[in-house]
Amino acid sequence: MNLTLKVWRQNGANDKGRLESYQVKDISPDMSFLEMMDVLNDQIIVEGKDPVAFDHDCREGICGSCSMFINGEAHGPGRGITTCQLHMRTFNDGDTIYIEPWRAAAFPVIKDLVTDRSAFDRIIQAGGYVSVNTSGNTQDANALPIPKDDADKAFDAATCIGCGACVATCKNSSAMLFVSAKVSQLALLPQGDPERTTRALHMVEQMDKEGFGNCTNTGACEVECPKEISLENIARLNREYLRASVNPDK
Ligand code: SF4
Ligand code: FES
């Protein structure tokens, strides 16, 4: 496949940025999108120029690093997959592909396609954990029976990889799908119960502090989420937050 790539180049948060055009040739339809980006960068390096900066780590849909907007969609045109799981056979020979970074004030561009998503880390630090010291005292998992339905829902919420596609897709740059997945994962399990109130209050407070927008129930986040995290979690977060606001001492 021969392709024209329009890639966003931006040298830091204060640079205005621009789309630059590149031609890539003989791309195999079986390559992943990131392998195609590697070919592009090899070509740029051989020309003695600055390669395109993009995030990646696991390249198997687990780490959530490979965040790019491809032809106007977070993680590209596929559903339920990350950019690293997208294959070039999704495109046609001769296509022009637009590749841009996440665009949200809370995710400033570091360089080209790489954005700073440490706001998510700070939200987790505000309460997305269980404070139990289990060292040397680990319980058998079966000692704590959990209804199958709750376990399944908690597991589904726990599949969120923190990629930020929900924020990048949302017209309000809301982080509600991410925060709701992290709150739900623990709210559904007995282990998460003791810190349930402070968790909901602190994580939402940090989310607002980071400058994410409000949720207006559009649902675009659910459509573009590579892990298909359900909007049902946002409803649960709203209930958790309301419950915590009414009874902050419980
Ligand atoms: S909810 Fe989905 S889109 Fe948002 S951070 Fe988690 S995995 Fe990514
Ligand atoms: S590189 Fe880890 S999810 Fe894509």
Write out pLDDT tens, residues 75-87.
Answer: 999 999 999 999 9
pLDDT category of residue 250 using cuts at 50, 70 and 90: low
Catalogue all structural domains in the chain, each as residue range(s) with its CATH number.
Answer: 3-111 (3.10.20.30), 118-246 (1.10.1060.10)
Q: How far is CA 136 from CA 133, 189, 191, 243, in A?
A: 9, 22, 17, 34
Residue 161: pLDDT over 70: yes
Q: Which residues pair with 32 in a beta bridge?
A: 87
| 144 vs 120, higher pLDDT | 120
Cβ of 174 closer than 6 Å to ligand 2, yes or no, is no
With a 6 Å cutoff on the Cβ, whether 65 touches ligand 2 is: yes
Q: Cα separation of 110 and 53, whole Å?
A: 9
Nearest-CA residue for atom 3 of ligand 2: 61
Is any atom of ligand 2 closer than 6 Å to the C-beta of 76?
A: no
Centroid of ligand 2 to alpha carbon of 58 (angstroms): 5
Stretch 101-118: mean pLDDT, rounded?
97
Pocket test residue of 37, 38, 63, 225 for ligand 2, highest count of atoms within 8 A of CB: 63
pLDDT surpasses 90 at 74: yes
Minimum-distance ligand to the CA of 37? Answer: 2
Q: Check pocket membership of 161 for ligand 1, CB cut-off 6 A.
A: yes
- Coil vs helix vs strand at 18: strand
Query: Is residue 239 scored above 70 in pLDDT?
Result: yes
For residues 2 and 92, give the distance between their C-alpha atoms in angstroms, rounded to a whole number.
9
Q: With 90 as the cut, is the pLDDT of residue 136 above it?
A: no
Question: What is the number of the ligand 1 atom nearest to the C-alpha of 165?
Answer: 3
Other CB atoms within a 10 A radius of the CB of residue 215 amount to 21
Chain centroid to Cα 250, Å, comes to: 31
